Amino acid sequence: MHPIITVNKQIDSGDSYPKAKNFLMSISRNSLKSKYTYTSGLVHFQRFLTELYPDYNIDSILNPIKQNTIDVYEILDSFVSHLTSSVGGKNEDIMTSTSIRLYLASIRSYLAYYDIDIIASKFKRKVKVPKAYREDEEPLDAADIRKILLSCNNRRLKLYLLVLASSGVRTVECLAIRLKDIDFSLRPTKIHIRKEFAKTKVARDIYISDEATHYLKQWIDWKYNNEERPRKRNDESLLFTVYNANKPNVLYVKVLQEFQKLLEVVGLDKRKEGGKQKRRKITLHSLRRFVKTVMSDQTNQDYSEWFLGHSKSPYYTKKEPDRREIYATKCMKYLTFLDYTTLEVTGKNIEAKLREKDSEMQAIKIKYEQDMKAMREDMNQQFTQIMTMIQQNPKLAHVKPEVLTKNAA
């Protein structure tokens, strides 16, 4: 068995590392994902101790650090060096700086849980962490999304992508939608996102396009009115499951595999450089970035931040009908991909706006030419008057033109 898997099981059981288990149990009360991340950090820390501090483990190392027999900053710096080396003995297994920072943060949290405080200024001075270099994410546009949707023959996946691309909801938040969370009585259709599955643990309501609503109704009809596989309708069941599953995280793995196969079909399966896993440039989260971009362009930052479930200004408040109206009138037409009637209308609206802009520019040009003509005529008239005055009285030739112009007026 792989040593990482062995350590992971020992931590979960709590037999070998009870202190680590207690720490992870406290973390899991708020987030299971955080628990999994912190577990990975502890697993790597245990492997590091096995190699460089064989007399200790993640539990027994705590007392020597508390008693200052082992310098906490020295051991953390050595841990960073361990992570920056080839983890599995292969160059492709080198961790990214983001992963290193994440695992280091989990160990700092573990130490703080057992009253080992780390002074930020000393940590910054003594523990050198690799810099995280950021690059812009690969952008998606409406044409790319349309290409993906047209190549998708999976009924469930197509609906899932349409909901993501018209609402910007997070992947697991979308998979956690139940039938009872959908309100077809409103236009556009409103969907409730439960706080248990929201990243920020705050419930909110989102909207989806009329196009996504059309495919959503087709999916529900196929799911519960299928003569070959009749199913009893249950408003508590998850929307995207065919069976009576109630864990969206399990469903995510299946949907992700289907999406990755689809990316290969359409030729959008390129991967990023560097890192152990070489993540794909286009992911399900790319659809959320697309929605954010559209909403920021068509409305404003406050509305887009609220809609996507980000932190927003406490002073930004709007009633639900107003929020829905903004989505319907300003955003939905740009979040429609296969409804060609809507696309044609949107195209005509854009053409009309361009024609209107051309008319405005033409009017500005005509007014400018008229103003310039009037100025030239006025200057010619003043020049004629000055020359007439000089001819009548030659002494005026030594007078400043401004004075003559004033007298002529």
Say if residue 284's pLDDT is above 90: yes
Check: CB of residue 263 under 8 Å from CB of residue 278: no
**pTM of this prediction exceeds 0.75:** no
> Per CATH, the architecture of 142-337 is what?
Orthogonal Bundle (1.10)
Per-residue pLDDT, 342 = 58
Say if residue 155's pLDDT is above 90: yes
Domain ranges of the chain: 3-126, 142-337, 344-408
CB hemisphere CA count around 66 (13 angstroms): 11
What mean pLDDT is reported for the chain? Answer: 85
Burial per residue of 206-244, b for 16 or more beta-carbon CB atoms within 10 angstroms, e otherwise: bbbbbbbbebbeebbeebeeeeeeeeeeeeebbbbbeee
Per-residue pLDDT, 302 = 92
Q: Give 143-212 as a DSSP string.
A: HHHHHHHHT---HHHHHHHHHHHHH---HHHHHT-BGGGEETTSSSPEEEEPTTTSTTS--EEEE--HHH
Local structure of 235: helix, strand or coil? coil
Between 373 and 274, the more confident residue is 373
Per-residue pLDDT, 347 = 56
CB hemisphere CA count around 358 (13 angstroms): 6
245-272 confidence digits (pLDDT tens)? 678 888 999 999 999 999 999 999 888 7
Say if residue 366's pLDDT is above 90: no
32-77 confidence digits (pLDDT tens)? 888 999 999 999 999 999 999 999 999 999 999 999 999 999 999 9
Per-residue pLDDT, 293 = 95
